[in-house]
């Protein structure tokens, strides 16, 4: 397949007059200069991300959120009706949704009840039509890291691409899998600006992997998948790495305070150890507690109907005041 060739792709060098892309030379209806198409190759972003992460630019792909590379990877590797992906419930919901949209089967190999990899079940789960294995670590909604040694074994033995989704890696005490990219050409690591970087509203995600896989993602993506505004704001965020690190430290301290307070609540049955910015907590009468909170303006995620999550609510770590408000409602509910 030949990739779309944009007006700017067909021209190299310096120019003063651009009459090649049917843009509006008079300017933008909004304030700011948005009348020109953005860089489809995200050069400035890749340069900056490469310096931040120590990963070569040829290994970096930028998407409209990490949801976009999830969808593109499925489209790239799976033939509808023939190939399948493997996901490990309970986990992030978009793998399954993207597979469905693309008419690709999603084989489920559940995590164990303590949210670990079920190695015997996994290693007998695939044949040559298994093209992608999604490992979410830290996992959403449980928050725990998957066991590293098991992940090494899976990456070595899986016949297709292993996608390690690291949306929450900045909150984790363990190193990122990007350090292993050179060792494993079948590894793709997803990260995002939506969590620790606090940029969920602009939709910027990153896939990192083997240069050939990255080149294929570049080939099939919509040409202007990141708007100029997105690219500018993502660059601004990356230039403020110190602020991101401070936010992470604050949220981690808040997470520990939240855990401590919840441990003192008799009706809390379990708090899953978290390496992320949220906690999965098992409560007595969780459904009722969930609705009690909504009626008082506090929204958490009800996960009670997810596998292994009976009685569980997923609570994002917020500001100190927000967490306090949540805790007050927990105590009011059981009083």
Ligand X SMILES: Cc1ncc(COP(=O)(O)O)c(C=O)c1O
Residues that bind ligand X (CB under 6 A): 65-67, 92, 136, 140, 165, 167, 192, 194, 200, 205
Q: Which is nearer to ligand X, 3 or 318 (CB)?
A: 318
Q: Which is nearer to ligand X, 104 or 206 (CB)?
A: 206
Considering the complex, what minimum distance in angstroms separates the CB of residue 20 from ligand X? 32
Considering the complex, what minimum distance in angstroms separates the CB of residue 141 from ligand X? 8
Q: Which is nearer to ligand X, 71 or 218 (CB)?
A: 71
Considering the complex, what minimum distance in angstroms separates the CB of residue 190 from ligand X? 7
Tell me whether residue 2 is exposed, middle or buried, using C-beta atoms within 10 angstroms of its C-beta: 0 to 12, 13 to 18, 19 or more.
exposed
Considering the complex, what minimum distance in angstroms separates the CB of residue 69 from ligand X? 9
Q: How far apart are CA 219 and CA 197, in angstroms?
A: 27
Q: Which is nearer to ligand X, 27 or 93 (CB)?
A: 93
Strands 312-316 and 205-208 come out as unpaired
Q: Which residue is nearest to ligand X (CB)?
A: 65
Q: Which is nearer to ligand X, 27 or 222 (CB)?
A: 222
Q: Which is nearer to ligand X, 238 or 329 (CB)?
A: 238
Considering the complex, what minimum distance in angstroms separates the CB of residue 160 from ligand X? 19
Considering the complex, what minimum distance in angstroms separates the CB of residue 194 from ligand X? 3
Residue reference for tokens 């340069």: 47
Q: Which is nearer to ligand X, 65 or 160 (CB)?
A: 65
Q: How far apart are CA 89 and CA 108, in angstroms?
A: 7
Considering the complex, what minimum distance in angstroms separates the CB of residue 167 from ligand X? 4
């Amino acid at each position: 397949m030949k990739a779309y060739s944009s007006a700017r792709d067909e021209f190299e060098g310096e120019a003063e007059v651009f009459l090649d892309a049917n843009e509006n030379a008079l300017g933008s209806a909004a304030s700011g200069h948005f009348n020109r198409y953005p860089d489809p190759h995200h050069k400035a972003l890749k340069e900056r991300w490469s310096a931040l992460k120590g990963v070569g630019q040829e290994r970096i792909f930028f998407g409209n959120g990490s949801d976009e590379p999830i969808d593109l990877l499925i489209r790239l590797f799976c033939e509808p009706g023939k190939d399948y992906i493997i996901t490990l419930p309970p986990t992030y919901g978009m793998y399954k949704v993207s597979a469905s949209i693309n008419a690709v089967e999603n084989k489920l190999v559940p995590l164990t009840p303590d949210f670990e990899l079920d190695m015997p079940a996994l290693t007998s789960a695939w044949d040559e039509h298994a093209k992608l294995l999604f490992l979410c670590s830290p996992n959403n909604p449980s928050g725990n890291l998957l066991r590293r040694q098991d992940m090494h074994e899976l990456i070595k033995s899986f016949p297709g691409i292993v996608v390690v989704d690291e949306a929450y890696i900045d909150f984790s005490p363990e190193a990122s899998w990007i350090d292993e990219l050179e060792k494993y050409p079948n590894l793709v690591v997803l990260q995002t600006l939506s969590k620790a970087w606090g940029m969920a509203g602009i939709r910027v995600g990153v896939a990192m992997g083997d240069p050939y896989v990255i080149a294929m993602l570049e080939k099939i993506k919509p040409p202007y998948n990141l708007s100029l505004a997105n690219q500018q704001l993502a660059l601004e965020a990356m230039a403020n790495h110190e602020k991101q690190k401070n936010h992470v430290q604050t949220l981690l301290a808040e997470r520990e305070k939240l855990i401590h307070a919840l441990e003192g609540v008799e009706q809390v049955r379990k708090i899953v150890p978290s390496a992320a910015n949220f906690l999965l907590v098992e409560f007595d009468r969780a459904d009722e507690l969930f609705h009690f909170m909504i009626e008082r303006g506090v929204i958490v995620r009800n996960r009670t109907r997810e596998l292994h999550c009976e009685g569980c609510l997923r609570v994002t770590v917020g500001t100190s005041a927000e967490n306090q408000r949540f805790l007050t409602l927990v105590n009011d509910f059981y009083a």
